[in-house]
Amino acid sequence: MSKDIGEELENRMESMTPRSTFDVAIVGDPDDIEVKALRYLFTKPGVKVFQTGPEHDVEDIIELKPAITFVCTKVQVNDDGLIIATELEDNVNRLLARQNGGVITRTSLTPDLVDRLATKSQKYVHCPNPYYDEDTLMAHTNIPVLLIGGNSESAPAVREIFLRFSNIAVREFAMMSAVEAAFVDMSTRAYLAIKSQFFNNLYNSVQGFGSDYNVISNYVCADGRINSGMHLIPNIDLTYGVPGNIADYPKMMARWDKKFTLFSNCDIIKATVNKEEE
In a domain, 186, yes or no: no
**Which residue, 155, 180, 205, sits at the end of a domain?**
180
Least confident of 129-138, 176-185, 189-198: 129-138
Least confident of 7-16, 137-146, 249-258: 7-16
Determine the average pLDDT of the residues in 1-17.
63
Which residue segment(s) compose the domain that 237 sits in?
A: 191-277
DSSP string, 136-185: -HHHHHEEEEEEEES-TTHHHHHHHHHHHH---EEEEEEEE-HHHHHHHH
**Which residue, 180, 203, 218, sits at the end of a domain?**
180
**Which residue, 128, 152, 180, sits at the end of a domain?**
180
Percent of all residues in the chain with a pLDDT value above 90, rounded to a whole number: 44
In a domain, 14, yes or no: yes
Same domain, 125 and 238: no
pLDDT above 80: residue 262: no
Residue closest to 67 by CA, chosen among 101, 109, 38: 101
Determine the average pLDDT of the residues in 127-136.
83
Same domain, 166 and 254: no
Same domain, 162 and 243: no
Same domain, 166 and 199: no
Total domains in the fold of the chain:
2
Determine the average pLDDT of the residues in 133-140.
78
Same domain, 168 and 204: no
How would you list the strands of the sheet with 68-71, edge to edge?
47-51, 22-27, 68-71, 102-105, 124-126, 142-149, 169-176
Give alpha helix (H) positions in 173-275. Answer: 178-207, 213-221, 249-256, 261-264
In a domain, 36, yes or no: yes
In a domain, 93, yes or no: yes
Determine the average pLDDT of the residues in 16-40.
86
Higher-confidence residue of 187 and 140: namely: 187
Same domain, 48 and 129: yes
Task: To the nearest 10°, report the CA torsion of 133, 138, 143, 144.
Answer: -70
Same domain, 214 and 102: no
**Which CATH number is 10's domain given?**
3.40.50.720
Same domain, 208 and 170: no
**Which CATH number is 261's domain given?**
1.10.1040
Residue 179 CA to residue 94 CA, distance in Å, equals 21
Q: What is the mean pLDDT of the chain?
A: 84
Task: State residue 176's pLDDT score.
Answer: 97
Same domain, 160 and 37: yes
pLDDT above 60: residue 124: yes
In a domain, 185, yes or no: no
248, 131 Cβ separation under 8 angstroms: no
Same domain, 29 and 161: yes
Task: State residue 52's pLDDT score.
Answer: 84
In a domain, 132, yes or no: yes
Task: State residue 275's pLDDT score.
Answer: 44
Same domain, 140 and 201: no
Same domain, 162 and 232: no
Task: State residue 182's pLDDT score.
Answer: 95
Least confident of 32-41, 132-141, 195-204: 132-141
